[in-house]
Amino acid sequence: MSTAIAVLSQTPPGHDGTLFVQGGGSYQAGAPANFLDIVIAMEDYMTIVRLLKAGTPVTLETDVKTAFHSEDTKGYNVIAEIKGTDKKLKDEVVMLGGHLDSWHSATGATDNAAGCTVMMEAIRILKTLGVKPRRTIRIALWSGEEEGLLGSRGYVKKTFADPATMQLLPAHQTFDAYFNIDNGTGKVHGIYLQGNEACPDSSSSRMRSSTAHVPTIPIWTHTITCVKTT
């Protein structure tokens, strides 16, 4: 009786040498190791399939080096802000951000160094220009996003409200908006509302008013469902 030691798989979008690697198992500390799943390019995968269908034995030699680090399982967010200057509005907060961690098999450039870079550059420009915002502008670079939005969810729970009970904390009353980039690079053509049907009108009017004086930044649409570069 043969014993399986690994799975070979491919994903439909993966062709021309591009690999789309899926989840690597549980991220919980102490969880058992996941069954080895090796993703290969579609061209190689289909070559193996054709050989097996033709009755030709296939032998593979692999060298897989994977390590799960459990020395420190805490997540670390990076938070910084430009304090508001208006006596009445300085306690109100507008947030922007992205996530620092990356998909386990990727370089992290698109997901999500690109988003973090845009948000950090926005803050750098404001600081360089010496802008004194009326409201506080806070940037957050999250950890643990790929494992389940752990960094942002933890921050929301401790700072604004526990989503399980919706018991609001004082900071929730002065929280105005949060803008996030995590859908790749390129021009931003609109806003994806994360399924929140309660805010299309307000978000659209805010973006139209905030970008009306900047003709090179058109905000074309906002959508309940995800659209690339929104």
The residues annotated as belonging to the active site are 145
Structure tokens at 52: 């097996």
CA distance 230 to 218: 12
Cβ count within 10 A of residue 41: 15
Q: Which residues, other chains included, contact 228 with Cβ-Cβ below 8 Å and sequence gap of 6+?
A: 183, 184
* Cis ω before 77 (30° cut-off from 0): no
Q: Helix, strand or coil for residue 201?
A: helix
DSSP symbols for 29-59? TTPPPPPPEEE--HHHHHHHHHHHHTT----
Q: Alpha-carbon Rg of the chain, whole angstroms? A: 23
Among residues 87, 208, 193, 101, the alpha carbon closest in space to that of 145 is found at 101
End-to-end CA distance of the chain: 52
CA distance 186 to 117: 12
Q: Are 230 and 221 in contact (CB under 8 A)?
A: yes
